[in-house]
Amino acid sequence: MKTEDNPYSFLYPEIPPFNEAFLPVSELHTIHFEQCGNPNGKPVLFVHGGPGGGINPMYRRFFNPEKYHMVLVNQRGSGKSTPHAELEENNTANLVSDFEMIRQTLNIDKWMVFGGSWGSTLGLVYAQTHPERVSELVLRGIYLGTDKENKWLFGGQGANRVFPEYWEPFEALIPEDERHNMLEAYHRRLTSNDPSILKQAADCWSGWETSICQLQHDPKMVEDYLASPSGVSMARLECHYMRNACFLQPNQILNNIEKIKHIPGYIIHGRYDMVCAPESAWQLHQAWPESQLHYVTYAGHSLLDPALAEKCVEITDLLAGD
């Protein structure tokens, strides 16, 4: 039973991977991935957010380890994948190709795809590229990779009006004459050869996003994230992807929804998600009425929000099979 002392009691126990590996996918990039749970269980691909967020041991706890064969992948430039925070050869098509290479390497015929935030975007693109390889889609915190969504979060056209006190440091780093294009202004700093300029920009970028991620602001979580390597990789890669329209055609995901309508789909979104506005989940569900949409009332964007996490486990248990 959940208590204030243990709000995550519904998660499965902590487990180590039964295998970790590094797969060279190009002359530049090597991808780290881990396998957990039951090697003979139902295969599931965990697609982390960001881009640049990386995997976390807590993510293993969303799946019954007796029933699931979990494959958790650090995308290019993320986590233990090398080179860290690298922008070259880092685009959506390459990430999709990496997943497919891992699937083939592991000799998996079909797998469930579980992705949140940017992971929902990438999971949808992977499924639309390889629909015959996806058994189910479980998608949290929907992000469709659109300019409107980018401006909501980083363009001063939405979330900043809800959290002006956290927006102020993000905006203040950029001189007024550059604020008409925050992505370009931050990109210049996040690609600087001066490590102090790069780190200052990364702290402002990731600090803004993580400050509004949870339903209840947690300063310690923000501080810990900025101190981790993911604070830099997420800032650099998110900015890189957003200024390149996530390497997608306009409205690409919704325009290609017919390719995945036969795949069972579960959409989970925090009602008070300020990183990815709930409208995106509604738009996806309207285009894909065969999917199930679950708005979680007492939740924001973060998978750490207990109500959102519990709904995700409820869905993975439902799909675990006998």
The set of catalytic residues is 117, 273, 301
3-state helix, strand, coil in the chain (%, to 5): 45, 15, 40
Query: What ranges in 6-129 are assigned the alpha helix state H?
Result: 92-105, 118-129
Phi first, then psi: give them for residue 116, nearest 5 degrees: -125, 145
Tokens of 309: 């996490």
DSSP string of 169-229, one letter each residue: HHHHTS-GGGTT-HHHHHHHHHT-S-HHHHHHHHHHHHHHHHHTTSSS--HHHHHHHHHST
Q: What residues contact residue 301 under an 8 Å CB cut-off, 6+ apart?
A: 117, 141, 212, 213, 214, 270, 273, 274, 275, 276
